[in-house]
A and B are shown apart, each in its own frame.
Chain A
Amino acid sequence: MAKVTLEELRKLRENKKNEIHKRELEGKEIEIIVGMGTCGIAAGAKDALDAFLGQIDANGLKNVIVKQTGCMGFCNYEPTIEVRVPGMPATIYNRVNAEVARRIVAEHIIDKKLVSEYVFDKPSIDIINQK
């Protein structure tokens, strides 16, 4: 890869900026939140993040925001990822490896169907007890 300078980065981005600005005003973004604590990292959360970004790029999806957070408290079920698609329930997926991440993009984000077998439905006991 040829060396990219900050100046070139700015130019590459310039072209798309108006588009982004418009979208931010609309507030209709799809959000992907990756748990990136010690537990998530050890379980391969970065592979999942890379797979999401690769698949979003490959499908030319334009309205996706990717965020990271620390440990979500489900260390045993890492990597855990929350997906928020407008019009669908906010969903936490567990044990998301690269393959599952690609399925989430294709099935949840594009086809608007949950990837049921990876939906996380067992919150950690120590977190429930706090309430």
Chain B
Amino acid sequence: MQLSIADYLIDIVQNSIEAQASLILLDIVEDSAALCVCIGDNGCGMDEKKLQRVRDPFFTDGIKHSHRKVGLGIPFLVQSVEATGGTFDISSKEGEGTSLSFTMNFSSIDCPPFGDLPGAFRSLMIFDGEYELAIMHKRENKSYSVTRSELRDALGSLNDAESLKLMGDFFTSQEEELLLEA
């Protein structure tokens, strides 16, 4: 199994949504050598003890499934980041929020493919709950950004299949624009 960068983003940003964040920022910045992703939220955060264990695949807060002894989201990401010689950093304060950042080096043979970024961004917009999510993607000197409230304002219901099709077209066109040579 190989997860793509898009898969990691769906998985990790979902942590912020499940931490009851009302505001989530996802910044993705790439140049020719490396990818840098920063995720910040104002969710429930973690105390020092929990924070120390988030990289441990056999640690989970036990809230979702009380009989389970694994939590693989962050460990999968860290494994992949380390394989590319990148960096991973997470800081958190209980009651205030969490911020997480990682880098991956494109030159590493272990750097995962981007995968379906437009699809990942769309998925991140349609989880249940009232949260604001701002996505910014910068590649070299081009960038675009969009928020969940802007999309909701433009599309009405975000869960309607027709809205989802249009939202997919929106992200696909924005991503294609970033890839065009200047």
Contacts and interface: CB of A to CB of B under 8 A. Distances in A.
Interface of A: 1-4, 6-7, 9-10, 12-13, 16-17, 20, 24, 36-38, 41-42, 46, 49-50, 52-53, 56-57, 61-62, 64-71, 73, 126-127, 129-130
B161 A57 contact: yes
Contacts, number: 116
A68 B119 CA distance: 13
Interface string B125-157: 011100000000000000000100011011111
The size class of the interface chain B forms with chain A is 35 or more
Contacts of B174: 3-4
Contacts of B167: 9
Contacts of B76: 38
Contacts of A46: 6-7, 10, 116, 119-120, 123
A2 B172 CA distance: 10
Given A66-B161, A71-B64, A6 B154 contact: yes
A24 B161 contact: no
Nearest to A11: B154
Contact of A129 (B7, B67, B116, B168): B67
A110 to B, nearest CB: 14
Nearest to B71: A38
Contacts of B163: 13
Contact of B172 (A1, A16, A62, A73): A1
Contact of A73 (B65, B120, B154): B65
Contacts of B18: 70
A13 B169 contact: no
A17 B7 contact: no
A37 B174 CA distance: 26
Nearest to A31: B159
Contacts of B11: 37-38, 41
B23 to A, nearest CB: 19
Contacts of B164: 53, 66
Contact of A66 (B67, B116, B159, B177): B159
B162 A62 contact: yes
